[in-house]
């Protein structure tokens, strides 16, 4: 599809804006041969160098693009984070949903995780976390190729796998947990983190990828928590602090919600339309002018003056 879009843009002679969301070079070693990482970077370079502007979801991805020399920094723009704060709202907290997520034990502390179950998501880490939290339940909302292995891993443990959820069920699932835990270290942004915070549920997430863009250093411990990747003590300690102190947990959830109310999708989309598209048009015109200049010079050298004038005017 992306190659088709590229071909159509070039055929029509219109500016092209590309966005980048799935960090494939990071995923490759977890699924297949590591030697494929560099060829994948070559494909990414080809695509994004052909575009006039690239939108990335986080500072971390922007830095990775610069390090890999995908395109120059001046042709990269940060796509403002956005969340549907009406659909993901504390008002959807539901006792019935909590009963479902806790397998009939709604009074017990409840950790939730929403997302795609893939090997790259570092979900094995949650098993070691739960081993350190007796009496705490966990609910997995979502699906993916790693689900069957994950279910075997959590067999006999206080865990529920709901499968995919949509609409109000998903809104209720987010809002009905106590803490959202995100162990992934490869997120380009982490939309589920935004949705959980918008639902008034504090997050404990790995300090990696695009997550620090959502929970910056000056907001750590206020809107949510970050833990050092792979540091079990750090992660478990922050989860325990939230689970054992309801007032602190509720205050953090409210603060997270207030912060997410500033991340409106309409504002993010407006910036793309009004600022980023104009930047793409500027780069496209500059590139076109650079291509036309040699043709103008050749025309002036070898064609009669009237013909050269017509090409110059074109």
Per-residue pLDDT tens over the stretch 237-263: 999 999 999 999 999 999 999 999 988
Averaged pLDDT for residues 260-276: 80
Region of poorest pLDDT, from 100-114, 126-140, 169-183, 254-268: 254-268
Q: Where are the alpha helices (DSSP H) in the chain?
A: 2-12, 24-31, 37-50, 59-67, 95-101, 124-131, 147-153, 167-175, 191-198, 211-214, 232-244, 246-260, 265-271, 277-302, 305-313
- How far is the C-alpha of 97 from the C-alpha of 160, rounded, in Å? 12
Distance CA 114, CA 60 (A): 22
Give the pLDDT confidence score for residue 267 in this predicted structure: 74
Backbone torsions φ then ψ of 55, nearest 5 degrees:
-100, 130
Which pLDDT does position 311 carry in this prediction? 45
Give me the residue label for tokens 């930047």: 279
> DSSP state, 177?
-
- Beta partners for residue 205, in sequence order: 182, 226
pLDDT at 298: 66
pLDDT level of residue 308 (50, 70, 90 thresholds): very low
| Ordered domains of the chain (ranges, CATH) | 2-81+265-288 (3.40.50.2000), 90-260 (3.40.50.2000)
pLDDT digits (tens, 9 = 90+) for 37-96: 999 999 999 999 998 899 999 999 999 999 999 999 989 998 878 899 999 999 999 999
pLDDT over 60 at 309, yes or no: no
% residues pLDDT > 70 (the chain):
93
């Amino acid at each position: 599809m992306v190659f088709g879009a590229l071909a159509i843009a070039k055929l029509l002679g219109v500016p092209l804006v590309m966005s980048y969301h799935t960090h494939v070079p990071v995923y490759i070693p977890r699924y297949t041969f590591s030697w494929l990482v560099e060829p994948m970077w070559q494909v990414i370079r080809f695509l994004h160098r052909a575009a006039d502007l690239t939108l990335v979801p986080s500072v971390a991805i922007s830095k990775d693009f610069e390090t890999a020399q995908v395109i120059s920094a001046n042709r990269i723009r940060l796509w403002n984070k956005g969340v549907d704060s009406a659909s993901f709202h504390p008002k959807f907290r539901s006792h019935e949903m909590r009963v479902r997520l806790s397998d009939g034990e709604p009074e017990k502390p409840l950790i939730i995780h929403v997302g795609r179950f893939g090997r790259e998501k570092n979900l094995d880490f949650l098993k070691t976390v739960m081993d350190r939290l007796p009496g705490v339940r966990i609910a997995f909302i979502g699906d993916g190729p790693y689900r069957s292995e994950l279910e075997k891993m959590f067999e006999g443990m206080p865990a529920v796998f709901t499968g995919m959820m949509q609409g109000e069920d998903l809104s209720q699932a987010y809002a009905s947990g106590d803490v959202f835990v995100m162990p992934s270290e490869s997120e380009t942004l982490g939309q589920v983190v935004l949705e959980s915070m918008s639902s008034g549920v504090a997050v404990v997430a790995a300090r990696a990828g695009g997550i620090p863009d959502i929970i910056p250093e000056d907001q750590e411990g206020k809107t949510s928590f970050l833990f050092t990747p792979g540091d079990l003590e750090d992660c478990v300690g922050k989860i325990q602090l939230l689970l054992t102190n309801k007032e602190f947990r509720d205050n953090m959830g409210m603060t997270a919600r207030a912060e997410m109310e500033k991340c409106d999708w309409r504002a993010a989309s407006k910036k793309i339309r009004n600022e980023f598209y104009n930047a793409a048009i500027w780069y496209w015109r500059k590139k076109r002018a650079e291509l036309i200049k040699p043709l103008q010079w050749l025309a002036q050298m070898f064609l009669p003056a009237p013909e050269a004038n017509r090409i110059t005017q074109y």
